[in-house]
């Protein structure tokens, strides 16, 4: 029998809680409010069918060949044009999903023991990408408006222990759905510049606004002090596995070298297809249809929560875009313990504890409103409310018996 010796960093690799929960949702009849999957109704299949044929007919040999690690130049130029600040295409690196961007950043910027700062709570996939590099992850206090700037300096550390960067999702954050206000953005960028703290701005959901677009990105306010991550997964299709990052020119070469070591380049055929689809302003026509659908489904979930959670002391927010809504259960309740009971009633969610770097709030959960229909949302929220009521009744029974 062969004995395999694992690297120490392998111990830092953990399964995705969300991916494990998604396995449960494969059970027939389960209504999943758990996954962060875009609605397949939004996938522009006809546009890709036409683009696929065009790419193969006009550029088939190059599309099927190895390609530059930086990415397909016309696509990088398109990314540079669509961003609301001056970006040189030579600063754009096409990645295999924005998740790879997080992995490259971790490899280039984190040493074992490096202090890095994150929101409270934060994106689980970022914690997974950062953890193998063995950082010390420190949570910065956050509220409904985003990172609390008054806590930033206190968490910076000093000397060799100074924070390497702050990772932040300002728009329709995963998991909470909250959006950072203009005032908070301005204060955060100013404070980060004063502290000489680099920002990692992750913005996969920024185009999915419902009533008005979010405020100017953090990176637009200080491009030399930030790395910006974007994705085509939420506006076109996640199966393409295409995202991008925009980095200061001084940092770009090292990220490119990490990319070369990881996969040589992202799929050249997929890049050409996306470039072909985008070239006539398709996103300007397509993305509003996604916004309309997701807004309707958010409204359906809010209505169901109002109706079904009456009298339960359950709290939730009202996201202005994106895919997620954040819920807080009654005092003393644990979302992880509640999940099996919800699944028994054929509804699934993601417990919020997985999204905290430390000091998790066990009462929190994330609900996704984009893949279930309005009827499924209504049925699922009713089932979730039933599970909460049943658990509260069981908790109350011993207390009532003791008083009898």
Domain stop point among 281, 305, 329:
281
Each of the 404 residues of the chain gets a pLDDT tens digit; together they read 788 998 888 888 877 766 666 677 677 889 999 988 999 999 999 999 999 999 999 999 999 999 999 999 999 999 999 999 999 999 999 999 999 999 999 999 999 999 999 999 999 999 999 999 999 999 999 999 999 999 999 999 999 899 999 999 999 999 999 999 999 999 999 999 999 999 999 999 999 999 999 999 999 999 999 999 999 999 999 999 999 999 999 999 999 999 999 999 999 999 999 999 999 999 999 999 999 999 999 999 999 999 999 999 999 999 999 999 999 999 999 999 999 999 999 999 999 999 999 999 999 999 999 999 999 999 999 999 999 999 998 877 665 555 45
Both 354 and 206 in a single domain?
no
- Count of domains in the chain? 2
Both 206 and 72 in a single domain?
yes
For residue 118, list its beta bridge partners.
139, 167
Range of the domain at 221: 46-281
Both 277 and 288 in a single domain?
no
Both 277 and 289 in a single domain?
no
Residue 297 lies in a domain: yes
Both 101 and 213 in a single domain?
yes
CATH number at residue 386: 3.90.1150.10
Domain stop point among 249, 281, 313:
281
Residue 1 lies in a domain: no
**CB under 8 Å, gap of 24 or more: what pairs does 237-240 form?**
237/38, 237/43, 237/44, 237/48, 238/37, 238/38, 238/97, 240/267, 240/270, 240/273, 240/274
Q: Are 287 and 125 in contact, with CB atoms under 8 Å apart? A: no
Residue 96 lies in a domain: yes
Both 56 and 135 in a single domain?
yes
pTM: 0.95
Nearest in space to 208 (alpha carbons), one of 311, 105, 288, 318? 288
Q: How far is CA 257 from CA 107, 252, 263, in A?
A: 10, 9, 10
Count how many residues are written for the chain: 404
Neighbours of 200 (CB within 10 A): 27
Task: Say how many Å lie between the first and final Cα of the chain, rounded.
Answer: 63
Both 34 and 96 in a single domain?
no
Half-sphere exposure of 120 (CA within 13 A, CB side): 17
Residue 132 lies in a domain: yes
Residue 404 lies in a domain: no
């Amino acid at each position: 029998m062969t004995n395999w010796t694992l690297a120490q960093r392998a111990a830092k690799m953990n399964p995705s809680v969300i991916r494990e929960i998604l396995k449960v949702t494969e059970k027939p009849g389960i209504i999943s409010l758990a996954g962060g999957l875009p609605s397949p109704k939004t996938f522009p299949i006809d546009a890709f069918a036409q683009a696929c044929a065009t790419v193969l007919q006009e550029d088939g040999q190059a599309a099927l060949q190895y390609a530059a690690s930086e990415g397909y130049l016309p696509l990088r130029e398109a990314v540079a044009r669509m961003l609301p600040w001056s970006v040189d295409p030579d600063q754009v690196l096409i990645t295999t999903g924005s998740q790879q961007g997080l992995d490259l950043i971790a490899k280039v910027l984190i040493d074992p023991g490096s202090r890095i700062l994150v929101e409270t709570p934060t994106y689980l996939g970022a914690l997974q990408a950062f953890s193998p590099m063995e950082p010390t992850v420190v949570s910065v206090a956050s509220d409904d408006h985003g990172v609390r700037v008054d806590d930033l300096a206190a968490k910076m550390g000093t000397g060799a222990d100074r924070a390497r960067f702050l990772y932040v999702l300002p728009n329709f954050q995963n998991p909470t759905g909250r959006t950072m206000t203009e005032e908070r953005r301005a204060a955060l960028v100013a404070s980060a510049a004063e502290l000489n703290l680099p920002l990692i701005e992750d913005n996969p959901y920024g185009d999915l606004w419902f009533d008005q677009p979010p405020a100017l990105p953090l990176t637009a306010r200080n491009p030399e002090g930030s790395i910006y991550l974007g994705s085509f997964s939420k506006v076109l299709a996640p199966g393409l596995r295409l995202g991008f990052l925009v980095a200061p020119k001084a940092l770009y070469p090292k990220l490119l070298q990490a990319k070369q070591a990881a996969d040589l380049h992202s799929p050249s055929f997929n890049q050409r297809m996306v470039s072909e689809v985008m070239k006539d302003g398709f996103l300007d026509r397509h993305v509003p249809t996604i916004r309309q659908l997701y807004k309707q489904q958010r409204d359906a979930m809010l209505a169901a929560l109002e109706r079904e959670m009456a009298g339960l002391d359950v709290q939730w927010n009202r996201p202005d875009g994106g895919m997620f809504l954040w819920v807080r259960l009654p005092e003393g309740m644990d979302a992880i313990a509640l999940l099996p009971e919800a699944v028994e009633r054929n509804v699934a969610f993601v417990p919020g504890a997985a999204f905290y770097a430390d000091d998790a709030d066990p009462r929190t959960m994330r609900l996704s409103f984009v893949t279930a229909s309005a009827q499924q949302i209504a049925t699922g929220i009713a089932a979730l409310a039933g599970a909460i009521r049943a658990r509260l009744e069981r908790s109350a029974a011993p207390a009532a018996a003791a008083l009898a």
